A and B are shown apart, each in its own frame.
Chain A
Amino acid sequence: MLSRVADALYWMARNVERAENDARLIAVQLVRQLEHAEFRDDMGHSLWSPLIHINASESLFLSLYERMDDQSSLEFLTVADKNPNSILRCVSTARQNARTMLGMIPSELWELVNTYYYSVREYENETLRTETLHRLVDMVKSFSLQFWGIIDAAMSRGDAYQFVRMGTFLERAQKMARIVDVYSQGVEERQTHQQAFEYHHWSAVLQSVSAHESYVLKHGARILPERVGEYLLLDPLFPRSIRYCLEQMLDAFLTIEHGEVKSYARTLHVQLGKLCAKLQYAEIEEILQQDFHAFLANIQWECNQVGQHLATTYYLGAMDAE
C-alpha cells in the first residue's frame, strides 16, 4: 500500500477516535455539572479546564481567549478552527484524510465521514447550551459507532484495516493514560468529602470512557480507585483499557508483517512487545505504591515513541516532514 495512504488511514482513525474521546469527556462533565453542583469550582475556574488539560492545549487556549469561561472553553473544545484537537478540526482532518484515499476505503465510509463533517459544521454558529452539547455529543458518539460498524462490516482485513486499527488503538491508549492521569491528579488536590467525592469522581471517569456498566458487571457497584485504575489500565477484556489497546496494536502490527518480523521493523516490534508485557504483568497495587503520575506519564511517552517508530517503519508522513 502507498505509504501516503497508510498515513491517511492511520490519521483518519486517530482523528475520529480523538473526536469521540473529546465528546465523551464533555458528556461526563455535563452530567457532573448538573448533578453535583458542589463540585463547581467557586474560584471561578471552569469545570472544563481538565478537558483542555487532557489535550495538553492550555497555552493554545490562553493565546486565543482572554479568560476560561464556559462559552470560551466549550467553543475551544468543540468547533474552534484554531484548535487542532477540537471536535470540528478532528473530523475535518479525518475527512481530508478520507478524501485523499477514496477508493481505498469503502465508499460508505467516505460518505459517512463526509456527512459527519457537515453535521459538525452545523454547530459552528450555534450557541453552545447544555442541550446543544448533548445533541452534539450524541451525534459524535453515534458517528463513531457507525464508523466502526462500516469498517467492521465492509473493510477487507488487509493492511488498510490494520493501519486503521493501529491509529485507533494508539490514540485510545494514549488518551486513556492521559484521562486517568488528569483525573487522578484532581483527586489529590481535594480532601473534603473524601468518600463521596471519590465515588462520584471515579464513576464519572468510568462513564467518560464507556466503562461504567462493564465495570459494575465485573466488580459490583463498589467504585474503588484501585479497581477503577486496574480496570482502565490493565483489564485484558475491556476494549478501552490501555493493555487491551496495546495488545490490539501488536496484533495489527504482526498481521501486517505476516507474523514474521524483518530487520526494518525490529525496533517497533521490540518497543510494542515490551510495552504490552509491562501492562500484562503489572499489578495495580504495585503501581499505586510507586509514583502513579510518573507511571502514566511513562506510558504516554512510550505510546509517543511507538507512534514515531511506526512512522519511520512504514514511511508515514515522511514526505511532509522533508
Chain B
Amino acid sequence: MFENYVVDSGYDEMMRGADSPRDAYVRLHRTLADFSEPELHTRYRMAQSIFLRQGITFTVYHDERGTERPMPFDFIPKIIPAAEWEHIERGLVQRVKALNAFLEDVYNDQEILYEGVVPRDLIVTSEYFCPQVAHVAIPRRNHIFMSGIDLIRNETGEYHVLEDNLRNPSGMAYVYQNRYVMRKVFPEFFRDYSVRSLATYFTDLLSALQQLDPHERQNPTVVLLTPGMYNSAYFDHSFLAQQMGIELVEGRDLVVVDRVVYMKTSHGLQEVDVIYRRIDDAFLDPLEFRSDSLLGVPGLMDAYRAGNVAIANGLGNGVADDKAVYAYVPDMIRYYLGEQPILPNVPTYHLSNPEEREFVLSRLPELVVKQTDSSGGYNMLIGPQAQEMEIEHFRKRILGAPHKFVAQPTVQLSKVPTFVGGGMRGCHVDLRAFVIQGEHTTVFGGGLARVAMKDGSLIVNSSQGGGAKDTWVLVDG
C-alpha cells in the first residue's frame, strides 16, 4: 500500500522515509502490507455502514431535511508510545489544574488580574465572562469536570497545545465508536499491539460527577442535560449518559421548586443533585441568561447559587478557553503552580498590542490569524494558503477590531498516512485529549485524532470535512 507514498515536508508520524516506518508503526506497516486495495475498500465500506446503522452521524446544518451523514473515518490509527503519552499526560494534568485555579480566581478575588499577570480587561469584558457565578461557592471548586485539549505536533514532532476547550467539549463518544469499529472491522491490526483499553473511564467519569454532589449523598441523582436530538453532538450526549447509567434529560424534563431542581417522572418529581450539562451557558436559564431560551430551566442558576445542585462544567468557563486568553496559560501555570509548562503553547501575537499588530500586519502571508471568539475552524486566515484578496479583506477586519484577533506562525502540522482516493496519503492531524477532573485528575487514555482529509488542508474540524482516526496509546514501548 505504501509503494507510492510520499514523505514530503513536515513531520510524518508513521513514516521516517518512503519505506521505513517509525518504531511504533513497524508492526502495523507489516500487517498493512498483507492487504490489497480492494480488500481495504470493502472493509472501509463495512465500517461506514456500522456508523450509519448505529446512528453515529452528524447533522448537516443549513439543510432543511436535516440530512445526517456518517462521521468520516480513517482506519490508520495514530499510535502513541507509552513514554510519549506519559509526557503528554503530565502536561495536560498540569494545564487543567492551572486553568481551574484561574477560573476559581477570576470568579472570586481576581488576584491574577489585579496583579496584571493576565490583563483584567481581556477577561471581564469577554462575552463569556459570567458575572452571575461570581462568588458562588461551587462544589469542590471544580470548574472543569471535563475538558478537551487540542494538541498538535510541529515539524520536529514536538507536541504543542493548540486550543483548550473548557465548555462542552464533544467527541468522546466518537473515540469509543472508532475503537469499536476498528476492533470489529480491522481486528488484524491489533494483533501485534497492546493498546490501552478505554473500558474503565466511564467509572472515572461517573464518580467524578458523583463527587460533585453538594449534599454528599450515598447515591446522588446525576443527569446529563442535552439540548435534544437535533443538536449536532446529540449522539455524544446519549452515548455518555447511557454508558454512565445516568438519565438523559432535556430542559423541559426539569423544574425548579423552592430553589431545588427536580426531574419530572411518571411518578412525580424527583430531586436532582448533579447536572452534567451540554447546553451552553447562555441557554441554561432564561431568567438570568437569554430570556428567549427554550432549552433551559428557569431558576436553575438560583438553585445553583443556593448550593442545592452541582453543574458541570461550571458556568463562565469560556473566559479561560478563548483564543486570546490561551496565550496566557503558560503564565497561569507559573503563577498558580510555580512550575514551568510541560507542554508548550504555539507562539501567539495579540493584535490589540500595537507593536505585535504592526509585526503581524507586515507578515500576513506567513501567519495564521484567528478570531478570538470563533471556533470550528471558521473566521480564520491561513496566510500561506490565502489569496491576496482574502488577505486584504482580513487586514481590514483586523484594523476594524484588532482586539478580536490573534495571530500565530503557521505550524506545519504533523501527518499520518490516510486512505483517500484509493491510496495512502499523508494528511494533517491533531489530537483532542480529554481530561476528567474529580478527586483525582485523569487523562483519558486515547483521544480523538482528527484528520484533514481534503488535500493539503489544515482544517480538521468535522464541520468542515475533517474525519477521525482511532488513537492508540500503547501499554508498553
Determine whether A and B are in direct contact in the complex, meaning some CB atoms lie less than 8 angstroms apart: yes
Q: Chain A, 116-135, contact with B by CB distance < 8 Å: what is the 0/1 string?
A: 00100000000000000000
Q: Count of A-B contacts with CB under 8 A?
A: 64
B81 to chain A, nearest CB (A): 33
Would you call the interface of chain B mostly helix, strand, loop, or mixed? mixed
Interface contact B53-A115, CB-CB below 8 Å: yes
Chain B residues within an 8 Å CB radius of A1: 265-266
Stretch at the interface among A30-38, A98-106, A137-145, A281-289: A98-106
Q: A196 near B: Cβ within 8 Å? A: no
Stretch at the interface among A2-10, A46-54, A185-193: A2-10
A55 to chain B, nearest CB (A): 25
Q: B391 near A: Cβ within 8 Å? A: no
Chain B residues within an 8 Å CB radius of A256: 266
Q: Chain A, 300-322, contact with B by CB distance < 8 Å: what is the 0/1 string?
A: 00000000000000111011000
Q: A235 near B: Cβ within 8 Å? A: no
Interface contact B249-A2, CB-CB below 8 Å: yes
Interface contact A102-B242, CB-CB below 8 Å: yes
Q: A69 near B: Cβ within 8 Å? A: no
Could you tell me how many residues of chain B have their Cβ less than 8 Å away from some Cβ of chain A? 23
CA distance A316 to B253 in the complex (A): 11
A130 to chain B, nearest CB (A): 30
Chain B residues within an 8 Å CB radius of A107: 54, 242
- In-complex Cβ contact of A2 among B55, B234, B239, B263 (8 A): B263
CA distance A114 to B49 in the complex (A): 12
Q: Given A99-B229, A103-B241, verify A114-B266 contact (CB < 8 Å).
A: no
CA distance A6 to B265 in the complex (A): 8
Q: B105 near A: Cβ within 8 Å? A: no
Q: Which of B225-248 contact A (CB under 8 A)?
A: 228-229, 234-235, 238-239, 241-242, 247-248
Interface contact B55-A4, CB-CB below 8 Å: no
Chain B residues within an 8 Å CB radius of A251: none
- In-complex Cβ contact of A118 among B52, B238, B253, B267 (8 A): B52
Q: Given A100-B229, A110-B55, A159-B266, verify A2-B242 contact (CB < 8 Å).
A: no
Interface contact B54-A101, CB-CB below 8 Å: no
Q: B302 near A: Cβ within 8 Å? A: no
A308 to chain B, nearest CB (A): 15
Chain B residues within an 8 Å CB radius of A102: 55, 235, 238-239, 241-242, 248
CA distance A4 to B247 in the complex (A): 11
A105 and chain B: residue at smallest CB distance: B242
B247 and chain A: residue at smallest CB distance: A2
Q: A111 near B: Cβ within 8 Å? A: yes
Chain A residues within an 8 Å CB radius of B267: 314
CA distance A99 to B250 in the complex (A): 13
Q: Chain B, 310-341, contact with A by CB distance < 8 Å: what is the 0/1 string?
A: 00000000000000000000000000000000
CA distance A107 to B180 in the complex (A): 14
Q: A96 near B: Cβ within 8 Å? A: yes
Chain A residues within an 8 Å CB radius of B249: 2, 4
B250 and chain A: residue at smallest CB distance: A4
Chain B residues within an 8 Å CB radius of A101: 248
Chain A residues within an 8 Å CB radius of B52: 118
Interface contact B253-A2, CB-CB below 8 Å: yes
B238 and chain A: residue at smallest CB distance: A102
CA distance A1 to B263 in the complex (A): 9
Q: Which of B246-285 contact A (CB under 8 A)?
A: 247-250, 252-253, 263-267
A269 to chain B, nearest CB (A): 15
Interface contact B264-A2, CB-CB below 8 Å: yes
- In-complex Cβ contact of A96 among B229, B242, B263 (8 A): B229
CA distance A118 to B283 in the complex (A): 33
Q: Given A103-B248, A118-B52, verify A4-B242 contact (CB < 8 Å).
A: no
CA distance A319 to B247 in the complex (A): 18
Chain B residues within an 8 Å CB radius of A118: 52
Q: Which of A67-89 contact B (CB under 8 A)?
A: none
B248 and chain A: residue at smallest CB distance: A103
CA distance A230 to B238 in the complex (A): 46
CA distance A81 to B307 in the complex (A): 48
Chain A residues within an 8 Å CB radius of B54: 107, 110-111, 114
Chain B residues within an 8 Å CB radius of A115: 53
Chain B residues within an 8 Å CB radius of A6: 266
A194 to chain B, nearest CB (A): 51
CA distance A314 to B267 in the complex (A): 6
Chain B residues within an 8 Å CB radius of A96: 229
Chain A residues within an 8 Å CB radius of B238: 99, 102-103
Chain B residues within an 8 Å CB radius of A2: 247, 249, 253, 263-266
CA distance A1 to B268 in the complex (A): 9
Interface contact A100-B53, CB-CB below 8 Å: no
Given contacts A4-B249, A103-B248, 20 further A-B contacts (CB under 8 A): A1-B265, A2-B265, A3-B266, A4-B253, A96-B229, A99-B55, A99-B234, A99-B238, A100-B250, A102-B55, A102-B235, A102-B238, A102-B241, A103-B239, A103-B241, A103-B242, A107-B54, A114-B55, A118-B52, A316-B266
Q: List 25 A-B contacts (CB under 8 A).
A: A1-B265, A2-B249, A2-B265, A3-B253, A3-B264, A4-B249, A4-B250, A4-B264, A6-B266, A96-B229, A99-B229, A100-B250, A101-B248, A102-B238, A102-B241, A102-B242, A103-B242, A104-B248, A107-B54, A114-B55, A115-B53, A159-B266, A163-B266, A315-B266, A318-B264
- List residues of chain B with CB under 8 Å of any chain A CB: 52-55, 228-229, 234-235, 238-239, 241-242, 247-250, 252-253, 263-267
The 7 tightest CB contacts between A and B, nearest first, are A103-B242, A102-B238, A314-B266, A6-B266, A319-B252, A3-B266, A114-B55
